[in-house]
Structure 1
Amino acid sequence: MSPVNAAHGRSEDTSAVHPTGERPHGERRSLRRVVGAYAALAKPRVIELLLVTTIPAMFLAGRQIPSPWLVLATLVGGTMAAGSANALNCVIDADIDKVMNRTKRRPLVKDSVPRRGALIFGLVMGVASAAVLYLTVNLLSAILAIATILFYIFVYTLGLKRRTSQNVVWGGAAGCMPVVIGWAAVTGTVQWPAFVMFGVIFFWTPPHTWALGMKYRDDYERAGVPMLPVVATAQHVARQIVIYSWVMVAWTLLLLPVTSWLYGTFAILAGGWFLFYAHSLQAAVRRGEETKPMALFHRSNTYLMIVFVALAVDSAIGLPTLGLPF
């Protein structure tokens, strides 16, 4: 009973429906919080990055703008698959998330979502993703989506993450699969350019993730996750970032036979730009200066977007391919 109503000797039933028939604002806010909490389980910001690579892969597969319906169906199915893997990852890693400042606001840590509810949500999303892809795209894309979920959960989350500093190197393969799914959605097959795109993201993942690990090293150490920045010196981590960055940039050039000068130009310029910052980070570590690994982390996102957007534009325009022999 509020002080005002108590003074007048009456109470107010705050659960009553408004005379107009509408739900009280509190109930609507509560519903939004629940929906938002389940959406957060899917880690939408991670999914955004995956979609940035899926669409260009579809453009390259047909060397033209693909059917908008096919793109939409593939993105919906792919988003659900990624959401499933991320939600199940949250269930398994709830104990880790509780002790890391970076993840302590996730729904299971804040008890915004019950553990059982999160598990059911993840499983249903996974089954639904396969159904959507099978019914609207093709069988191969559905199989690849399910394989990706299983790999992410059993190989990376349960197998590698807590056991080896190479966790993100091999476990990162799950994040490379959207380009393969996108290619399969258009062609019904998996051909060598899809594996090249897979490799670009595969070699991109360690510099991207290790830069984040350098920033949150104490978090990972407290959680008992042996990320490379936890078990190795900063000098070693910076050197590995540079090595993987060079391999990544070189790997992007393997797509030159099926692209034009436009993609090649952006791949080389963006690669040089990213390598400059990777070497700058290494130089700062060598000199013992204060480093800003998050700057490289954010630039890695920009770099990947530039390369794949260039790939999409190049394919949409349909310029003559270079067809270089290797």
Structure 2
Amino acid sequence: MTYVGQSASAAQQSDPGEPGARASLRDVVMAYVGLTKPRVIELLLLTTVPVMFYAARGVPDLDAVVWTVLGGTFSAGSASVFNCVYDRDIDEQMRRTRRRALPRHIVSPRAALVFGFVLGILSTVVLYFGVNALSAVLSVTAIAFYVFGYTMLLKRRTTQNIVWGGIAGCFPTLIGWTAVTGSLSWTPVVLFMVVFFWTPPHTWALALRYREDYANVDVPMLPVVKPAREVGRQIVLYSWVMVATSLLLWPVASTGPVYPVAAAVLGAVFLVEAHRMWQRTKGTEDLSVIQPMRLFHHSNLYLTLLFVAVALDPLLTR
């Protein structure tokens, strides 16, 4: 059974424009930038740089940060471009994505594919020569997992698509650590798991808001195939595991007092928000009542502040 709700606020938005219009040079440049999904890149770098601070137990080498950020930007951009190429058929039908470059035919699929490969090669070269081989290998693995694991294998086949597909978005924690230390340890693995358990509440809240979009293109996101009440319940479960995992960093990494206090406070606030959204799903599918985007935006703030605490902890407890 498909649950798409009675109040389709997403479907009520006006059409932002018809695809295929003549594009200026600026439109083309911005289209290529858009293919890389800059907001996603920002989020991934947010979990990379703070880990470098913690790995260095202070301010990391500036050259290492620059090369890691540059390589990470190319890597995340490459994965996003490949995703846009593969998903261009459904992107054209979804209101949330129909203004992307490929649905509007500003960039051809072939040109976008070449762009994706160029970014992927650049990311590998930059990380290999500017950082180290392990970071480059992790970057390539993340791209491959996002493209083949999530985009091509999981997204259109299972409600668990973003649970396991979200693993690709966890790799920046490992890359940030290896960029400083040249090796892996349990500390970045714990942070990897924090992002892993954060991804379902974050993505399901967004998918709940745009569930009619996903339903129209037969993408089985959890909010499409389950009622909002069940989505809210699973969000709460993952949120509890996420907060517990975040607190695990304290004994595993022997952090100072800054991180555990921040993790506890931020976690408590997040759990309150998750439970409140779940309560709002009782007896209704009306998105104006459930307000899933409130939790979505709060999840961004949670991850931002948590990783800021990761960076600040060694600076304030030296």
User: After TM superposition, is the score higher than 0.5?
Assistant: yes
**1:313: how far off?**
0.7
Of 41-50 and 54-63, more deviation after overlay is shown by 54-63
State the match for 1:286 in structure 2.
282
Contact 1:58 1:186 in 2 (8 A): yes
Residues 1:160 and 2:154 aligned together: yes
State the match for 1:21 in structure 2.
none
Count of residues in Structure 1 that have an aligned counterpart in Structure 2: 291
Structural mapping, 1:148-297, within 5 Å = 148-257=142-251, 258=253, 259-288=255-284, 290-297=289-296
Residues 1:111 and 2:128 aligned together: no
State the match for 2:118 in structure 1.
124
1-side partners of 2:283 and 2:229: how far apart? 10
**1:287: how far off?**
4.6
Which structure has the higher relative contact order (CA within 8 Å, separation 6+)?
A: 2
State the match for 1:134 in structure 2.
128
State the match for 2:36 in structure 1.
42
Q: Deviations over 1:41-86 (max 9, x none)?
A: 0000111011111011111112111011111100000000000000
Contact 2:58 2:315 in 1 (8 A): yes
Select which of 77, 82, 107 maps to 1:83. 77
**1:116: how far off?**
0.5
1:162 partner amino acid: R
Larger Rg: 1
State the match for 2:298 in structure 1.
299
Q: Deviations over 1:243-280 (max 9, x none)?
A: 00000001001110221111111100000111101000
Contact 2:158 2:221 in 1 (8 A): yes
2-side partners of 1:84 and 1:141: how far apart? 16
Contact 1:87 1:118 in 2 (8 A): yes
Contact 1:64 1:318 in 2 (8 A): no
Q: Deviations over 1:186-241 (max 9, x none)?
A: 01111101110000000000000000111001000001100000111111110000
Instruction: Give unpaired runs (5+ residues) of structure 1.
Output: 1-28, 320-326
1:236 partner amino acid: E
2-side partners of 1:239 and 1:41: how far apart? 34
State the match for 1:312 in structure 2.
311
2-side partners of 1:153 and 1:108: how far apart? 17
1-side partners of 2:291 and 2:132: how far apart? 44
Flag as ranges the 4+ runs of structure 1 deviating above 6 A.
none
1-side partners of 2:216 and 2:245: how far apart? 35
1-side partners of 2:228 and 2:24: how far apart? 45
Residues 1:96 and 2:95 aligned together: no
Contact 1:63 1:318 in 2 (8 A): no
2-side partners of 1:186 and 1:146: how far apart? 18
1-side partners of 2:312 and 2:256: how far apart? 10
1-side partners of 2:144 and 2:308: how far apart? 29
Q: Deviations over 1:167-196 (max 9, x none)?
A: 000000000001100101001111101110
2-side partners of 1:240 and 1:294: how far apart? 16
Residues 1:55 and 2:54 aligned together: no
Structural mapping, 1:26-37, within 5 Å = 30-37=24-31
Instruction: Give unpaired runs (5+ residues) of structure 2.
Output: 1-22
Q: Deviations over 1:72-127 (max 9, x none)?
A: 10000000000000000000000010111000000000111111100000011001
SS of 2:48's equivalent? helix
Of 279-288 and 75-84, more deviation after overlay is shown by 279-288
Select which of 61, 64, 72 maps to 1:70. 64
2:110 partner amino acid: R
2-side partners of 1:318 and 1:120: how far apart? 47
Contact 2:236 2:274 in 1 (8 A): yes
SS of 1:286's equivalent? coil
Compute the RMSD of aligned alpha carbons. Answer: 1.1
